[in-house]
């Protein structure tokens, strides 16, 4: 993309309404525009990152054997009356009625809808196990929408639902989700720690939240710092293997890590003092086993191999797709702007032409642009007739991990500059070397 033809409405000033850095940078980098409280339009740069996050979430769910579906955002209240949640949900639920006076709602979540699909089409143990997921907009009329996309009213969520014949099979689905989530967050360059969480009124102890450590997080968290050293990396995982998934889940849930809701001082004190940490965290996902709560109230049964009819065991599993943009920025920025991890960056490499209109500089930039594009990468070329200072400031703000700077003086010596946004390190090398290095970095992802 050439910046002269793009839509990147960068702001120079810090927007007064932004209380945390991610919100401020998202507005300043022209990623989002508030439409009304907690509701945002996604501008081109923001949309690109949102789509990248979505793609990673989708790929990792499919890798785990889960199947994509898409359910409507507007739901009929009838299903929610069946489960008993229509009245329980309270003011967070946006209710409306259609022209016939029928009660409708904008879905805050989809357990009822998915259960309705299952009870219509799944009848036998042979149809299980089954995990369906979607990436779809949700609406929750939050009391205090704030921090930009972090706590929106309309937000994008990946929500997945597993259906299994019994408790053991459902726990395998739970562990499978845990492993797939670990991989998902790692691919985004994030350290998200699974923490034992409160299951609330539903009961049972099988729920974990995934938290990204950040001072601006809304949750108070307690953890053993040993968990920060742990990495799933690119190890091969067989998601069908009950033992393998259970072993990884155990590995990650053994070090102490809990939110304030479930924190236990006595247990925490068993962690060696120097590894005992307290911090704030941003919830970027939650997995949940809730058994037969919905299947019993809504009649989602299957026939077992002995001919008995039993309610299916279920769990639901969510990832805050749009919140992740905020969480990644909170975890990765400096005072000049965002520092995108390579896995989610909106463009792979920035190209800055220090002297637009200089024949040699223009030609070199075009060559870099072409070579990166031919390699399947998306460069962002700042080809505007602007001062170099302004170009650097915008490029730093929008946070592309790599930048190639081209100027007449360097070209005379046969070099361009390759800069890492993260370390600030500048390397002089030939144009071909710079291009090859960037291609190699992304090929390794």
Residues that bind Mg ion (CB under 5 A): 286
Q: Hey, what are 120's tokens?
A: 């219509």
- For ligand ATP, give the closer residue by CB, 70 or 266: 70
Secondary structure (3-state) at 244: helix
If contact means CB under 5 to 8 A according to the sort of partner, which of ligand ATP, Mg ion, none does residue 148 touch? none
54 closest CA partner among 137, 168, 153: 137
Q: Hey, what are 418's tokens?
A: 């390759």
Q: At what angle do helices 167-187 and 242-253 cross, to 10 degrees?
A: 60
Q: Which of 59, 82, 142, 342 binds ligand ATP (CB under 6 A)?
A: 142
Give min distance, CB of 261 to ligand ATP, in A. Answer: 10
**80: buried, middle or exposed (CB in 10 Å: 19+, 13-18, 0-12)?**
buried
326 closest CA partner among 443, 193, 152: 152
Using rule CB under 6 A, residue 157 touches ligand ATP: yes
Give min distance, CB of 345 to ligand ATP, in A. Answer: 21
Q: Hey, what are 165's tokens?
A: 């014949």
Q: Which of 140, 172, 277, 391 binds ligand ATP (CB under 6 A)?
A: 140
Using rule CB under 6 A, residue 207 touches ligand ATP: no
Are 93 and 108 a contacting pair, CB within 8 Å? Answer: yes
Using rule CB under 6 A, residue 195 touches ligand ATP: no
If contact means CB under 5 to 8 A according to the sort of partner, which of Mg ion, ligand ATP, none does residue 184 touch? none
Give min distance, CB of 59 to ligand ATP, in A. Answer: 19
Give min distance, CB of 298 to ligand ATP, in A. Answer: 19
Using rule CB under 6 A, residue 251 touches ligand ATP: no
Give min distance, CB of 209 to Mg ion, in A. Answer: 6
With residue 176 as reference, give the H or E element that holds it: helix 167-187
291 closest CA partner among 210, 207, 208, 196: 207
Q: Hey, what are 350's tokens?
A: 């920035």
Give all strands (DSSP E) within 147-191, no chain letters.
Answer: 154-164
Part in contact with ligand ATP (CB under 6 A); list of ranges 60-68, 317-325, 395-403, 424-432: 317-325
212 closest CA partner among 234, 227, 231, 190: 190
Secondary structure (3-state) at 50: helix
- For ligand ATP, give the closer residue by CB, 46 or 318: 318
If contact means CB under 5 to 8 A according to the sort of partner, which of ligand ATP, Mg ion, none does residue 284 touch? ligand ATP
Using rule CB under 6 A, residue 323 touches ligand ATP: yes
Q: Which of 165, 178, 284, 435 binds ligand ATP (CB under 6 A)?
A: 284
- For Mg ion, give the closer residue by CB, 162 or 286: 286
* Chain positions contacting ligand ATP, by CB under 6 A: 140, 142, 151-152, 155, 157, 283-286, 318, 320, 322-323
């Amino acid at each position: 993309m050439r910046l002269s033809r793009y839509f990147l409405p960068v702001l120079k000033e810090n927007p007064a309404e932004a209380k945390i850095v991610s919100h401020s940078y998202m507005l300043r980098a022209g990623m989002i525009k508030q439409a009304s409280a907690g509701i945002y339009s996604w501008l081109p740069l923001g949309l690109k990152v949102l789509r990248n996050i979505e793609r990673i979430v989708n790929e990792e769910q499919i890798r785990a054997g889960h199947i994509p579906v898409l359910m409507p955002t507007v739901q009929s209240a009838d299903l929610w009356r069946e489960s008993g949640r229509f009245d329980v949900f309270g003011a967070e639920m946006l209710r409306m009625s259609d022209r016939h006076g029928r009660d409708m709602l904008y879905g805050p979540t989809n357990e009822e809808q998915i259960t309705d699909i299952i009870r219509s089409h799944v009848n036998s143990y042979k149809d299980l196990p089954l995990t369906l997921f979607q990436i779809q907009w949700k609406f929750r009329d939050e009391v205090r929408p704030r921090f930009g996309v972090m706590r929106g009213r309309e937000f994008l969520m990946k929500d997945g639902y597993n259906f299994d014949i019994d408790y053991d099979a459902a726990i395998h689905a739970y562990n499978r989700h845990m492993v797939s989530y670990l991989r998902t967050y790692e691919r985004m360059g994030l350290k998200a720690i699974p923490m034992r969480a409160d299951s609330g009124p539903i009961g049972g102890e099988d729920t974990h939240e995934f938290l990204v450590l950040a001072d601006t997080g809304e949750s108070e968290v307690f953890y053993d710092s040993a968990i920060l050293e742990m990495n799933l990396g690119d190890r091969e995982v067989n998601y069908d293997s009950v033992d393998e998934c259970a072993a990884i889940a155990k590995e990650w849930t053994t070090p102490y890590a809990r939110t304030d809701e479930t924190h236990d001082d006595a247990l925490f004190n068993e962690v060696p003092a120097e590894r005992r940490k307290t911090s704030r965290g941003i919830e970027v996902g939650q997995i949940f086993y809730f058994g037969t709560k919905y299947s019993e109230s809504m009649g989602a049964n299957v026939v077992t191999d002995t001919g008995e009819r039993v309610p299916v065991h279920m769990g639901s599993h969510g990832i805050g797709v749009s919140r992740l943009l905020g969480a990644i920025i909170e975890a990765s920025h400096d005072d000049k702007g965002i520092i995108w991890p390579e896995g989610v960056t909106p463009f792979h490499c920035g190209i800055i032409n220090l002297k637009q209109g200089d024949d040699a500089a223009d030609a070199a930039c075009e060559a870099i642009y072409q070579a990166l594009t031919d390699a399947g990468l998306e460069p962002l070329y700042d080809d505007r007739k602007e001062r170099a200072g302004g170009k650097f400031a915008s490029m730093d703000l929008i946070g592309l991990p790599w930048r190639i700077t081209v100027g007449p003086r360097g070209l005379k010596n046969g070099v361009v500059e390759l800069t890492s946004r993260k370390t600030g390190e500048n390397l002089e090398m030939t144009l071909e070397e710079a291009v090859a290095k960037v291609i190699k970095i992304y090929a390794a992802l």
